Amino acid sequence: MMSRITVLGTGSWGTILGNMLSENGHEVHLWGNNPKVIDEINNIHTNEHYLKKFHINPTLKADHDLKIALNGSDAVLFVVPTNAIRVVAEQIKPYLDQAENKPILIHAAKGIELKTKLRISQVIESILPVAEYGEVVVISGPSHAEDVARKDLTALTVASRDISHAQTVQQIFKNNYFRLYTNDDVVGVEVGAALKNVIAIGAGIVHGLGYGDNTKAALMTRGLAEITRLGVKLGADPLTFSGLSGVGDLIVTCTSSNSRNWRAGNDLGRGKKLDDILENIGQVVEGVTTAKSVHFEAQELGVSVPITDTIYEILYENKDLKQGIIDLMNRDSKPEFI
């Protein structure tokens, strides 16, 4: 099954997924707004800012003209930061509205829009409505771009309320090192994807402070509990959080230095300032914004998320890291499962 696919985003994930799809035999057009990066991809077949020493398949084409990139697409994949999803969806809408065949819309982003507290599929569907474009498909799960680049064995979730769309995307991506499992719980998959970034900042903090394996295991497990509580309140299936896009993604993001969220937390634990950390990383650290979104959304919904609340206070209210941990440990005692 050969398709023409547009990948929106020239960061590490956009480049890796676009490259993989082109190697799968699809005609892939990668879109970005930096002409220098576009020229590098097309002429040198590298993207050194995001992927050191990675050779890009020469069949992958990059464009900074949206009309060219979108022309005749069977599928459009959003791989841009959460805060850019709405803007990019608005930019592509005029071109997709004119298309005779509406492409399947897919995203592989992990976050919650700060101002609206909408999940990413909700943001896309608010601009490109389901009645015209069908249900959005979500790809999520335990993965780092660097590992996929070296063809490490990877299994992810592909979710849509229209399971036939999920199955189509499953086949588009399938190869001997990249495998997708279908799910119809879009809410659960997106909530797990977004909130694990917040918990990963916490995992980095405790590592930077010098805590050991007991602490990390406790943080991840209780982090999963509050992810599940909020997800179920929003309508998710609790079983989703025991799968690839839940505990699977939480494990990989909380235990690897490849995770920007973990690195940010680790540097905080070592005494560095947040602004300096973000400048040094040089890419979006989604958990920083998501912590703010989730802190206020959980308050509105009456859901207890003490780890997320503490990370929010550390990031935005300059709470002392060690005091935050003491306060978490000294909360009122409670049963494990409520």
Q: Which residues belong to the active site?
A: 196
Whether the CB-CB separation of 169 and 180 falls below 8 Å is answered with: yes
Question: How far is the C-alpha of 21 from the C-alpha of 2, rounded, in Å?
Answer: 10
Give the tokens for residue 163: 């399971």
Tell me phi and psi for residue 228, to 5 degrees: -65, -45
Complete edge-to-edge strand list for the sheet that includes strand 61-63: 61-63, 27-31, 4-8, 75-78, 104-107, 137-140, 154-159, 178-183
Amino acid residing at 312: Y
Six token digits for residue 311: 């990370």
DSSP sequence for 1-63: ---EEEEE--SHHHHHHHHHHHHTT-EEEEE-S-HHHHHHHHHT--BTTTBTT-PPPTT-EEE
